Chains A and B, each alone.
Chain A
Amino acid sequence: MVAALIIVFREVIEAGLIVGIVMAATKAVAHREQWIAGGVIAGFLGACLVAVFIGVITEAFAGMGQELFNASVLGVAVVMLTWHNVWMARHGRELATEMLEIGKAVVAGSRTLFALAVVVGIAILREGSEVVLFLYGIVASEGGWSASILFGGLAGLALGVLVSALTYLGLLRVPGRYLFAVTTLLIAFLAAGMAAQGIGFLEQANVVTVLGAVLWNSSEILSDSSLLGKVLHTLVGYNDQPTGMQVLVYVATLALTYLLMKLVAPPPIPAHIR
Chain B
Amino acid sequence: MSHRFRKTIVGLICAGMIGTATPSVAQQVSLSTTIKNKTFQPSTLKTAANTPITITVHNADGATAEFESRTMRVEKVVPAGGTIVVNVKPLAPGSYRFFDDFNPSNQGVLVVE
Interface residues of A (CB under 8 A from B): 3, 7, 54-55, 58-59, 63, 66-67, 130, 133-134, 136-138, 140-141, 200, 204-206, 209-212, 214, 219, 223, 225, 241
The complex places the Cα of A104 from the Cα of B24 at a distance, in Å, of 60
User: B87 — which chain A residues lie within 8 A by C-beta?
Assistant: 204-206
Question: Could you list 18 further interchain pairs (A-B, Cβ under 8 angstroms) beyond the known A58-B82, A133-B79, A134-B66?
Answer: A7-B102, A58-B77, A58-B84, A63-B85, A67-B76, A130-B77, A134-B64, A134-B102, A136-B64, A137-B63, A137-B80, A204-B74, A204-B76, A205-B87, A206-B87, A212-B89, A219-B70, A225-B70
Closest to A219 in B: B70
Q: Are A141 and B21 in contact (CB under 8 A)?
A: no
Closest to A67 in B: B76
Q: Which of B15-56 contact A (CB under 8 A)?
A: 17, 20-21
User: A3 — which chain B residues lie within 8 A by C-beta?
Assistant: 104
B77, B82, B87 — which one has the most chain A CB atoms within 10 A of its CB?
B77
Q: Are A137 and B64 in contact (CB under 8 A)?
A: yes
The complex places the Cα of A193 from the Cα of B74 at a distance, in Å, of 17
User: A54 — which chain B residues lie within 8 A by C-beta?
Assistant: 64, 77, 79, 82
B70 CB → nearest A CB, Å: 6
Interface residues of B (CB under 8 A from A): 17, 20-21, 61-66, 70-71, 73-74, 76-77, 79-82, 84-87, 89, 101-102, 104
**Known A55-B82, A205-B87: A130·B62 in contact at CB below 8 Å:** no
Closest to B70 in A: A225
Q: Are B62 and A58 in contact (CB under 8 A)?
A: no
The complex places the Cα of A141 from the Cα of B104 at a distance, in Å, of 16
**Known A66-B76, A241-B73: A140·B20 in contact at CB below 8 Å:** no
A261 CB → nearest B CB, Å: 25
The complex places the Cα of A225 from the Cα of B104 at a distance, in Å, of 13
The complex places the Cα of A140 from the Cα of B25 at a distance, in Å, of 43
Q: Are B21 and A223 in contact (CB under 8 A)?
A: no
B45 CB → nearest A CB, Å: 18
